[in-house]
Amino acid sequence: MQTNNRGIVIAVGGNALIKKKNQISTDNQSEAIRETCTYIADIVEQGYNPVITHGNGPQVGFLLRRAELALGELPAIPLDVLGADTQGATGYLFARNLRNVLTERSIERHIAAIVTQSVVDPDDPAFDSPTKPIGSFMDEQEAEKHRVEDGWVVKEDAGRGFRRVVASPQPIDIIELGIIKSLISSGVMVIAAGGGGIPVTRENGTIRGREAVIDKDLASSLLANSLEVEDFIICTAVDQVYLDFNSPTQRGISTMTADEAAGYLTAEQFGSGSMAPKIEAAIKFLENGGQRVIITSLDRLADALDGKAGTTITN
């Protein structure tokens, strides 16, 4: 196996970990994660020692639904604890499947999944204007009950009912960064910052969990900069970034600069709930010292690293 000293962080979307949308069992999620691990193993064979991050939106949704169904017998679970639950479970499935896939290829690596806390500013404006919908749809009466009794912020969602919305603050620090660095320097493959990390604040020397959701790609960008890696890869559902997406004039972009990406972002070329956060994370990574961002699908990961697929963004 050749050696490659270039640092790399790979962010995998939470939806990529659900292969069959109508079959959400743990076994089916594990199957999807195993497939993901085969693509990661391809680049490990090239000599990379990637740090892997992952989304957890669907997984948190499943746990929230379970909690809602059990409310008559069990207390509600705080959102920060739900984030920790999904980090632990998904991290375990990643570590187990990745170890198995690498062993099949006669590659021995130590792998560690780290439950990660992402620090946010308690005065972040996002806390005053929650926008991130979570949980199930409710009718107006149930939504009002939660607003009064639980202090939830609830909003109507496109005529489909009401949903709880929470803040999505900017991550500013990663508490376990030193541990992650130590593991990487020892040759360990690390899975970290799942779901953007557990949102916490530091207040008067105390760490406090917050009811919020951190964007996974922004947290991954912060982690990549903090580790001083050169390459940041965002794996998504499409093989590359497109302009005029889903229109007759749709066209793919193989390369662009950070300035060009910012211009397309301003022109609202990218969906606010899909590609736009990824472009924002890419720009932040490059602005803070990163060298290259690649946006591509998992199955094109190895080709994209060789410049044969995906969208490459540089300064």
Residue tagged active-site, from 7, 13, 14, 310 = 14
Side-chain-facing half-sphere of 290: CA atoms under 13 Å: 30
Answer yes or no: 308 catalytic: no
How many angstroms separate the CA atoms of 275 and 311, rounded? Answer: 12
Question: Contact 165/84 with Cβ under 8 angstroms?
Answer: no
Total length of the chain:
315
* Active-site annotation holds for 14: yes
Report the candidate in 177, 164, 175, 166 with the shortest Cα–Cα distance to residue 210: 166
Catalytic residue among 135, 278, 284, 310: 278
Is 15 a residue of the active site? Answer: yes
Considering the candidates 13, 49, 91, 132, report the single residue annotated as catalytic.
Answer: 132
User: Has 196 been annotated as catalytic?
Assistant: no
Tell me how far CA of residue 122 lies from CA of 14, 127, 204, 243, in angstroms.
26, 8, 11, 36
The one catalytic residue among 15, 19, 28, 57? 15
Point out the catalytic residue in the list 216, 284, 290, 310. 216
Percent helix / strand / coil, the chain, rounded to 5 = 40, 25, 35
Confirm whether 155 is a catalytic residue.
no
Residues acting as catalytic residues: 14-15, 132, 216, 278
